[in-house]
Structure 1
Amino acid sequence: MSSKFGATSTTDEVLSGIDLTGKRILVTGASAGLGVETCRALVARGGAVVGAARDLGKAEKATAGVRAAVTTGSFELVELDLASLASVRACADRLVAEGKPLDIVIANAGVMAPPFGHTADGFELQFGTNHLGHFVLVNRIAGLIRDGGRLVTVSSAGHRFADVDLDDPNFEHTEYDRWVAYGRSKTANILFAVAFDRLHKVRGVRAAAVHPGGIRTEFHRHMSETDEAVMIAAINAANAAAGLPPFQYKSIAQGAATSVSAAAVPDGDAVGGRYCEGCHGAEAQEGEGLRGGVRPYALDAERAEALWAKSEALVAETF
């Protein structure tokens, strides 16, 4: 990834000079925030973008600006509810039946810190939506990804809250903590990218996980003002201890920049199997709080394979 870009770079800056004409791209979560901006930036460079969203009516309204930005490419929407494996499989089946190859898949959709709940299939809501839904979708359409293609999973610095729990992924035996659950799901996003990259890099398909940074979007709808203040105070305390500046929110265009950068960077080795933030690959780093870097457990290859096997068992499907 280019050294001239960083945490404050925008989607238009990192894609400047890049022509995506002829590239077909799937983006999940295309009804708000980062998903909409990701779609807009990609179609503006000629990409043929397929946006996936649970609520197509909402997505149609939210993506009016995306359609206005279409140049040599195109934009369409498909229905996808990641909290329902029936919906996930129906979406994947539709894409496979169409038979149109994909060059890039950006697994952007997700939920953050909701009250305890379950998906339609009985999985803890965050793990089921953020990880298992994408796990099934991406693996079912993996054959559509062209040789040399790219998978980007949107994770978070929140992965530092918790490693995955392969013994109790649905909080059946432990008390639910929404931030621990969020951390588990975001660690799972990284481990999935690690395992997918190892499996598919033989044909040049590379996978990366990214942290967009802190952005005010409807992703935060389950957080109260008090929750937000407590979280930012904790981040600032960790930053101060590490000699780093106070936390600042990014704009949506800055937040989506790392996703599109990881998706479009020509050198797959620069991002393959890595966790990226601020338009750069991050280094492994221990320490408390939400500072930069990636926890070593999130890049552990054996852990990634174990999560893959557990995920297959949970969804009753082998890939």
Structure 2
Amino acid sequence: MTTQFGEKSTTEDVLAGIDLTGKRILVTGVSAGLGVETARALVAHGADVVGAARNVAKAERATTEVRAAADAGKGAFSIVELDLASLASVRACADALNADGRPFDVIIANAGVMVPPFGHTADGFETQFGTNHLGHFVLINRIAPLLKHGGRLVNLSSAGHRYSDVDLDDPNFERTPYDPWIGYGRSKTANILFAVEFDRRHRDRGVRATAVHPGGIRTELARHMDESEMAALVASINETAAEAGTPAFEFKTIPQGAATSVWAAVVADPAEVGGKYCEDCHVAELQEGEGIRGGIRAYALDAERAKALWAKSEEMVGERF
């Protein structure tokens, strides 16, 4: 069993005493929030981190502490350009990483968007499904051969997966009225199902995949929500908590939010987290019921649903893996 950590654990708590020298890790979304802290913590403990970001200049400004950690220790840090809302950009990034040829020990698919107005990616996909799922689906599958034996994939999902299962008949809201939270839920469920099927396909070569919920954190991810919407969301969560007899919601700090990603990536037993969904630095239990709460809905771990999403995703991006 791994050491017990919890919702208050930080990146430094879970990495205490761990030397990541020689580990090479890809982290997407290093221009703000959790991605920056994830990269910083890993670099501070000796890892060679490749950060991916749509806006490289913004990422350079945001990661001064990451570069300081690299300068102060044994780790290293570099940035590559990646716009998950453009498959041309995704494929160019994958091509560059493959041409470089250096393997990865871990991929942390951290980047994403949350509840934007209705829109489409460069390839015509609904913004959240296209960015949060399909962009990562193509990137990770294209560079999967670079994952070493014993490597791991960590997909950032969310308790927001509870809003909706994936819709394989109408993924782009062409016949369904758009609801930003339903769109978010679909994409976050897709992140989990992708990890389930990736884990099944790669575990025989020692590569495991997991999905994680970082918790509620105030980051740029919530830029499409105003204060009244945030207050209503928190009130809804607390109503559910009161009914369940659990404590009221508290926002996590960014180091607490990034802790589960780091724990699942380099601390937890791979056999414990492979094909699972984790929160607060432990594997989550099945938990049905309405509202945003802890645990995972059964549909997000359904193996057949995961295979069907994989096939639908291949059809949508025009590429088989």
TM-score, with structure 2 as normaliser: 0.98
In the TM superposition, residue 7 of structure 1 has moved relative to its aligned partner by 0.5
Q: Which residue in the other structure is 1:69 paired with?
A: 69
SS in 2 for 1:77: strand
- Note if contact 2:236-2:291 (Cα within 8 Å) is conserved in structure 1: yes
- Any conservation in 1 of the 2:5–2:281 contact (CA below 8 Å)? yes
Q: Structure 2: which 5+ residue stretches go unaligned?
A: none
1:162 aligns with 2:164: yes
Q: Deviations over 1:42-65 (max 9, x none)?
A: 000100000000000000000000
Is 1:293 matched up with 2:295? yes
Aligned twin of 1:15: 15
Residues 162, 296 of structure 2: 8 Å contact kept: yes
Map of 1:176 onto structure 2: 178
* 1:29-44 pair list within 5 angstroms: 29-44=29-44
- Matching of residues 1-319 of structure 1 within 5 Å: 2-70=2-70, 71-265=73-267, 267-319=269-321
Aligned counterparts of 2:268 and 2:307: Cα–Cα separation in 1: 27
Alpha-carbon shift at residue 3 of structure 1 (Å): 4.5
Partner amino acid, structure 2, of 1:13: D
Aligned mates of 1:155, 1:41 — CA distance in 2: 20
Provide, for residues 188-228 of structure 1, a one-character-per-residue CA deviation record: whole Å limited to 9, x for no partner: 00000000000000011000000000000010000011111
Distance 2:130 2:4 in 1: 37
- In structure 1, distance between residues paired with 2:226 and 2:74: 42
Dislocated runs of 4+, deviation >3 Å: none
Contact 2:103 2:147 survives alignment (8 Å): yes
Q: Take 1:73 and 1:42, find their aligned partners in 2: how far apart are those partners?
A: 8
What is the DSSP-based 3-state SS (H/G/I as helix, E as strand, rest coil) of the residue aligned with 2:265? helix
TM-fit CA distance, 1:2: 3.1
Q: Deviations over 1:90-109 (max 9, x none)?
A: 00000000000000000000
Q: In structure 1, the residue corresponding to 2:246 is in which secondary structure?
A: coil
Q: Distance in 2 between matches of 1:259 and 1:245?
A: 23
The alpha carbon displacement at 1:156 in A equals: 0.2
C-alpha separation in 2, matches of 1:48 and 1:266: 20
Quote the Cα distance in structure 1 between the aligned partners of 2:287 and 2:223: 29
Contact 2:31 / 2:58 at 8 angstroms: preserved in 1?
A: yes
Specify the code of the residue in structure 2 equivalent to 1:232: V
- Would you say how many aligned residue pairs link Structure 1 and Structure 2? 319
Deviation at 1:266, TM superposition (A): 5.3
1:156-183 deviations in Å (ceiling 9; x for gaps): 0000000000000000001000000000
Aligned-partner SS, 2:95: helix
CA distance in 1, matches of 2:269, 2:235: 38
Separation of aligned partners in 1, 2:218 and 2:226: 13
Say which SS state the counterpart of residue 150 (structure 2) adopts: strand
Contact 2:2 2:269 in 1 (8 A): no
Output the CA distance in 1 between the equivalents of 2:231 and 2:75: 42
Cα shift readout 1:97-135 (whole Å, capped 9, x = no counterpart): 000000000000000000000000000000000000000
Distance 1:174 1:202, change over 3 A: same
Aligned equivalents of 2:18, 2:103: Cα separation in 1 = 20
Q: Which amino acid aligns with 2:88?
A: A
Distance 1:131 1:100 in 2: 25
The amino acid across from 2:263 in the alignment is S
CA distance, structure 2, for counterparts of residue 185 and residue 214 of structure 1: 17
Aligned partners of 2:47 and 2:75 also within 8 Å: yes
How far is the alpha carbon of 1:265 from its aligned partner? Answer: 2.1
